[in-house]
Amino acid sequence: MPKKGLFLRLWVANFPDMQLFIDRCVRAGIVRCLSPKRKDLCDNPATFVFWQDQAEWYPCCYEHDPGLSQWEGSTRFYPHYLELPVIPGKAMAWLAGLSAEERSHITKRAYER
């Protein structure tokens, strides 16, 4: 049976807003590791973000640390819907603790991993 995953989806108008939301979710322990160093699916919570540039970034756990960041700055940020891969149970508990106003800006989308 395929594993299920969950994205939190949020409109981000600028890079600082995107970075702030991602960092907030990483600190909450709800973001799933998507390190470019991992070989298989990783169910560990990300503990930091490996920033390649404004449009390319990877949430990583310590086990899958890709090493020094290579900020190239070659890809610019454009407003878009951010889809953040999260750990479903932890994310649902975190969402429950947000205000109704905060939750109104965040949608959820399930996917098969």
- β-strand partners of 106: 10
Looking up tokens 């965040």 gives: 106
Give me the pLDDT at residue 36, please. 87
Q: What is the DSSP letter of 37?
A: T
User: Smallest Cα–Cα separation from 93: which of 28, 20, 46?
Assistant: 28
Residue 81, burial from CB neighbour count under 10 angstroms (0-12, 13-18, 19+): exposed
Q: Looking at the 3D structure of the chain, how many domains does it have?
A: 1
User: Smallest Cα–Cα separation from 6: which of 83, 66, 60?
Assistant: 83
Domain of 87, in residue numbers: 4-112
Q: How far apart are the first and last CA of the chain?
A: 10
Tokens coding 90: 């932890």
pLDDT band (50, 70, 90) for residue 76: confident
Interval 9-57: pLDDT, tens: 999 999 999 999 999 999 999 999 999 888 888 989 999 999 888 888 9
Instruction: Decide: 28 and 72 in contact? Cβ < 8 Å.
Output: no
